[in-house]
Amino acid sequence: MHIAVLGTGMVGETIASRLLEVGHTVVMGSRSATNEKAAAWVDKAGAGASQGTFADAIAAGELIMLATKGETGIEAIASAPAQAVAGKTIIDISNPLDFSKGMPPTLSTVNDDSFGEKLQRAFPDAHVVKTLNTMWCGLMVNPAMLADGDHTVFMSGNDAGAKTQAKRILTQFGWQDSAVLDLGDITTARGTEMLLPLWLRIYGALGIGAFNFKVVKP
């Protein structure tokens, strides 16, 4: 599958590299077609990797993975023509973190809304699936590095077909079916996004990002 990865930071690069490993082709999108971070990743990644603007990546991608910072993802996707976005699954792994007041960041959207919902409202003809946003990027693509993969990844979204597509990617990353917890429609992204303040404080206490949440039931 041709996949657009929007974002050139650590998360975007980690996701893009793993997608190549499992057999996809990837266009890394950024504001500039000649972004230096994207170019360095392409040089390192080799066959199957390319770069372009956000719009270039979206046009080429059959599926979009959003790994931009904060709430900039709406602007990134809006840079492409509406017809290039319509009908596509957008796997949203971003969080609405606001660093304007320093560390730890706050959430710019909270309680009665979520960035996942904003994204779905902005692109009603696309299918947003919120997932992977509650953990360090190393675990996103290699869950077995912790507790043999026996921990939880959440999923929120309105479209069953898009969730199936997202779950296929999760499976390719190494997630077990039993680890994927479908919370329901996109409004449930409020809960997973609001885990981030807790995640950040656990990170501060442990000094390491290699941990995750696990839901245990009787």
Mean pLDDT by 10 residues, the chain (218 residues): 97 98 98 96 96 98 96 96 98 91 84 97 98 98 96 98 98 97 98 96 95 96
In a domain, 182, yes or no: yes
In a domain, 218, yes or no: no
In a domain, 9, yes or no: yes
Q: Are strands 63-66 and 106-107 parallel, antiparallel or unpaired?
A: unpaired
Report the CATH number at residue 150: 3.40.50.720
Q: Which domain holds residue 197?
A: 2-206
pTM for the full predicted model = 0.96
Give the separation between CA 213 and CA 192, rounded to whole angstroms. Answer: 11
**pLDDT score, position 170:** 98
| Torsion of the alpha carbons at 182, 183, 189 and 192, rounded to the nearest 10 | -90
In a domain, 215, yes or no: no
**pLDDT score, position 14:** 98
In a domain, 198, yes or no: yes
Count Cα neighbours of 112 within 13 Å in the Cβ-side half-sphere: 0
Q: Which of 91, 87, 117, 102 is nearest to 16 (CA)?
A: 91
In a domain, 216, yes or no: no
Cα→Cα distances 117→35, 46, 114, 173, 193, Å: 29, 35, 5, 25, 11
Angle subtended at Cα 80 by Cα 82 and Cα 24, rounded to the nearest 5 degrees: 105
**pLDDT score, position 104:** 81
In a domain, 16, yes or no: yes
In a domain, 175, yes or no: yes
**pLDDT score, position 117:** 98
- How many structural domains comprise the chain? 1
**pLDDT score, position 107:** 86
